[in-house]
Amino acid sequence: MLDVNTHTVLRALCALRDDGLLEFRRGRGITVIGTPEQSAVIEGARDLVQLARRHGYRLDELINVIQTVG
């Protein structure tokens, strides 16, 4: 109907599931379990991790930075 490749849609749905925003239920379909706020935080965290990696931080170092400012 929308002329979108099925595999593209499935990849997007799986990414949303992996981010904790969707739940796949066998025989019951897909349910939204996340909120827009959770989505915004996940996206911000993803951006922060990418920024830290570009500047040479390891994940454990980034966690220490977050704990320091939090």
Q: What is the pLDDT of residues 8-60, one digit of tens each?
A: 999 999 999 998 899 999 998 999 998 889 888 988 999 999 999 999 999 99
43 and 27 assigned to the same domain: no
Here the tokens at position 65 are 């930075």
69 and 49 assigned to the same domain: yes
What's the structural domain count of the chain?
2
23 and 54 assigned to the same domain: no
Angle 29-22-47 (CA atoms, 0-180°, nearest 5)? Answer: 155
* Domain range for 49: 35-70
65 and 43 assigned to the same domain: yes
Q: What is the pLDDT of residue 67?
A: 95
Q: What is the pLDDT of residue 1?
A: 73
52 and 23 assigned to the same domain: no
